[in-house]
Amino acid sequence: MSQDFRLPDLGEGLPEAELVQWLVAPGDTVSLNQTIAEVETAKAVVELPSPYAGTVGALHAAPGDVFAVGDVVITIDTGEDAPAEAAPAHAEAAEPAEAEKAVPNLVGYGAAPRAGGRPQRRARGARAASGPDTAVLEAAPHDAMPRREAPEPVMERPRSTPPVRKLAKDLGVDLALVEASGVTGIITRADVEAYAARMTAPQAIPAIASEPDVVTSVGARPRETRTPIRGVRRATADAMVRSAFTAPQASTFLAVDVTATTELVASLAADRSLEGHRVGIMAIAAKAVCLALGATPSVNSRWDEQAGEIVEFGYVNLGIAAATERGLVVPTIRDAEQLTLVGLADAIRDLAATARAGRTTPASMLGGTFTITNVGVFGVDGGTPIVNPGEAAILALGAVRRQPWEHRGEIALRDVMTLSLSFDHRLVDGEQAARFLRDVAGVLREPGRAMLLR
Domains (ranges, CATH) in the chain? 232-452 (3.30.559.10)
What span, in angstroms and rounded, lies between the C-alpha atoms of 327 and 237?
Answer: 10
Contact between 103 and 73 (Cβ < 8 Å) = no
Which region, left, alpha or beta, applies to residue 11 given φ > 0 means left and ψ of -120 to 50 means alpha? Answer: left
What span, in angstroms and rounded, lies between the C-alpha atoms of 442 and 448?
Answer: 9
**Which pLDDT value is given to residue 440?**
96
- Give the H or E element holding residue 304: strand 301-304
Contact between 119 and 149 (Cβ < 8 Å) = no
Strands in 132-248 per DSSP E? 217-218, 221-222
For residues 248, 328, 49, 130, the Cα torsion angle rounded to the nearest 10 degrees is 90
User: 274 CB contacts (<8 Å, ≥6 apart)?
Assistant: 268, 342
Three-state DSSP class for residue 115: coil
pLDDT tens for each residue of 33-70: 898 998 887 657 788 899 899 999 999 988 888 888 88
What span, in angstroms and rounded, lies between the C-alpha atoms of 159 and 165?
Answer: 9
In whole angstroms, what separates CA 269 from the centre of its chain? 34
Rounded average pLDDT over 239-248: 71
Comparing 77-81, 110-114, 205-209, 427-431, the range with the smallest average pLDDT is 205-209
Q: Cβ atoms within 10 A of the Cβ of 454, count?
A: 7
For residues 240, 241, 245, 246, the Cα torsion angle rounded to the nearest 10 degrees is -60
What span, in angstroms and rounded, lies between the C-alpha atoms of 54 and 44?
Answer: 28
In whole angstroms, what separates CA 111 from the centre of its chain? 22
The one-letter amino acid at 336: A
Q: Cβ atoms within 10 A of the Cβ of 70, count?
A: 21
User: Among 442, 441, 447, 418, which residue's Cα sits nearest to residue 255?
Assistant: 418
Rounded average pLDDT over 373-396: 93
User: 173 CB contacts (<8 Å, ≥6 apart)?
Assistant: 167, 192, 195, 196, 199
What span, in angstroms and rounded, lies between the C-alpha atoms of 292 and 271?
Answer: 27
pLDDT tens for each residue of 153-182: 444 556 677 677 777 777 777 777 788 877
pLDDT-derived band at 306 (thresholds 50, 70, 90) equals confident
pLDDT tens for each residue of 106-138: 544 444 444 443 333 333 333 333 333 333 333
Reported pTM:
0.56
Active-site residue flag, 425: yes
User: 210 CB contacts (<8 Å, ≥6 apart)?
Assistant: none
Contact between 295 and 311 (Cβ < 8 Å) = no
